[in-house]
Amino acid sequence: MTLNQFGRNLVNMDIFTDAYRVTGRAAVGAGGIHAELSNPNSNFLDLHDAYISRIHEPGSIIASYNLAAFRKDNINFIVLTDRRDGVPVGTQHGRSIFTRGRPVPAYVTVPSFEIKGELIYEGKASPNAILTQALGRFLLIFSATASASLHPDISYSGDLILIHKERVGILCLEKPR
Amino acid sequence: MANIFVIDDDAQLLQMVGLMLKRGGHTATLINNPFEGLEKLKEAKPDLLILDVMMPGMSGHDFTRHVRDKEDLAYLPILILTARAQDVDRVTALKSGADDYMSKPVTSHELMERIDSLLSSKQPVVKPGREGIILSVFSMRGGVGRTTLAVNLATALRRLTREEVCLVDFSPSGGQAAMHLRIQPKVSWDDLAAAERLDPAMLKDYLLLHQSGLRLLAAPMLPQLATKPSGEFTTSILKMLRERVAFTVLDLPPMINPAVRASLLASDIVFHIVTPEVVSVQVEVQATRALIRFGLNLQQKIHVLNQITPEIQLPASAVEKGLGTRLPFQFGFDEHQSRALAQGVPLAITTTQSPIPTVSLNMAEAIWQKIVKN
Cis peptide before B105 (omega within 30 of 0): yes
A60 chain-B contacts, CB cut-off 8 A? 61, 92
CB pairs < 8 Å spanning A and B: 51
Phi, psi (5° rounding) for residue B129?
85, -5
Residue A157 contacts B where some CB pair is shorter than 8 Å: yes
Cα nearest neighbour of A152 on chain B: B339
- In chain B, the number of structural domains is 2
Judged by CB atoms closer than 8 Å, whether chains meet at A155 and B87 is answered as yes
Least confident of A10-14, B25-29, B105-109, B116-120: B116-120
- Residue A112 burial (10 A CB sphere; 0-12, 13-18, 19+): middle
Is residue B298 within 8 Å of B291, Cβ to Cβ? yes
User: Pick from B54, B104, B342: which is nearest to A49 by CB?
Assistant: B54
Q: Is residue B128 part of a domain?
A: no
Look at residue B155 in the predicted model and tell me its pLDDT. Answer: 92
Taking each continuous run of H as one helix and of E as one strand, the counts in chain A are: 2, 13
A85 chain-B contacts, CB cut-off 8 A? none
3-state SS, residue B241: helix
Whole-angstrom Cα distance, residue B296 to residue B170?
A: 18
Look at residue B204 in the predicted model and tell me its pLDDT. Answer: 81
Span B225-231, mean pLDDT? 83
Please indicate, yes or no, whether the overall pTM of this predicted structure exceeds 0.80: no
Last residue of a domain, one of B70, B86, B121: B121
pLDDT, chain B, mean? 86
Looking at chain B, the whole-number percentage of residues with pLDDT higher than 70 is 94
CB-based contacts of A131-137 (< 8 A; 24+ apart in sequence): A131/A165, A131/A168, A131/A171, A134/A165, A135/A38, A135/A97, A135/A98, A136/A34, A136/A37, A136/A38, A137/A37, A137/A38, A137/A72, A137/A164, A137/A165, A137/A166
B343 chain-A contacts, CB cut-off 8 A? 153
Say if residue B89 is in the same domain as residue B139.
no
User: pLDDT-based confidence at B263, cuts 50/70/90?
Assistant: very high
Between B299 and B235, the more confident residue is B235
Residue A112 contacts B where some CB pair is shorter than 8 Å: no
Say if residue B172 is in the same domain as residue B197.
yes
Is residue A176 within 8 Å of A102, Cβ to Cβ? yes
- Give which of B27, B254, B37, B236 is closest to B138, Cα–Cα: B254
Judged by CB atoms closer than 8 Å, whether chains meet at A59 and B85 is answered as no
CB atoms within 10 A of CB B235: 17
Q: What would the DSSP string read from start to end of B215-231?
A: EEEPPPSS---TTPSPH
B105 chain-A contacts, CB cut-off 8 A? 1
Whole-angstrom Cα distance, residue B13 to residue B83?
A: 11
Q: Residue B195 sits in which domain range?
A: 133-373
**pLDDT, tens digit, for every residue of B114-146?**
888 787 665 544 444 568 899 999 999 988 999
Q: Domain with B80 in it: what CATH number? A: 3.40.50.2300
Whole-angstrom Cα distance, residue B334 to residue B254?
A: 22
Taking only Cα atoms into account, the Rg of chain B, rounded to an integer number of angstroms, comes to: 22
Residue B84 contacts A where some CB pair is shorter than 8 Å: yes
Q: Inform me whether the pLDDT recorded for B46 exceeds 80.
A: yes
Domains and CATH numbers, chain A: 2-80 (2.30.30.100), 89-173 (2.30.30.100)
B56 chain-A contacts, CB cut-off 8 A? 64, 66
Judged by CB atoms closer than 8 Å, whether chains meet at A23 and B54 is answered as yes
Phi, psi (5° rounding) for residue A35?
-70, -40
User: Pick from A49, A51, A154: which is nearest to B88 by CB?
Assistant: A154
User: Pick from B88, B103, B339: which is nearest to A59 by CB?
Assistant: B88
Say if residue B57 is in the same domain as residue B203.
no
Residue B87 contacts A where some CB pair is shorter than 8 Å: yes
CB within 8 Å of chain B, chain A residues 51-70: 51, 58-61, 64, 66
Is residue A136 within 8 Å of A149, Cβ to Cβ? no
Say if residue B99 is in the same domain as residue B206.
no
Whole-angstrom Cα distance, residue B89 to residue B53?
A: 9
Q: Is residue B234 part of a domain?
A: yes
Q: Is residue B103 part of a domain?
A: yes
Say if residue B237 is in the same domain as residue B368.
yes
Judged by CB atoms closer than 8 Å, whether chains meet at B343 and A153 is answered as yes
Look at residue B373 in the predicted model and tell me its pLDDT. Answer: 55
Q: Is residue B151 part of a domain?
A: yes
Q: Is residue B303 part of a domain?
A: yes
Taking only Cα atoms into account, the Rg of chain A, rounded to an integer number of angstroms, comes to: 16
Cα nearest neighbour of A66 on chain B: B56
First-to-last CA distance in chain B? 27
- Output the CA–CA distances (angstroms, integers) from residue A142 to A102, A129, B302, in the order listed: 12, 18, 47
**pLDDT, tens digit, for every residue of A24-39?**
999 998 888 999 999 8
Strands B208-209 and B78-82, sheet pairing: unpaired
Judged by CB atoms closer than 8 Å, whether chains meet at B88 and A51 is answered as no
Whole-angstrom Cα distance, residue B260 to residue B254?
A: 9
A155 chain-B contacts, CB cut-off 8 A? 86-88
- Output the CA–CA distances (angstroms, integers) from residue A23 to A7, A48, B58, B129, B206, in the order listed: 21, 9, 15, 49, 40
Say if residue B81 is in the same domain as residue B165.
no
Last residue of a domain, one of B86, B121, B156: B121
Look at residue B125 in the predicted model and tell me its pLDDT. Answer: 46
User: Pick from A1, A61, A81: which is nearest to B85 by CB?
Assistant: A81
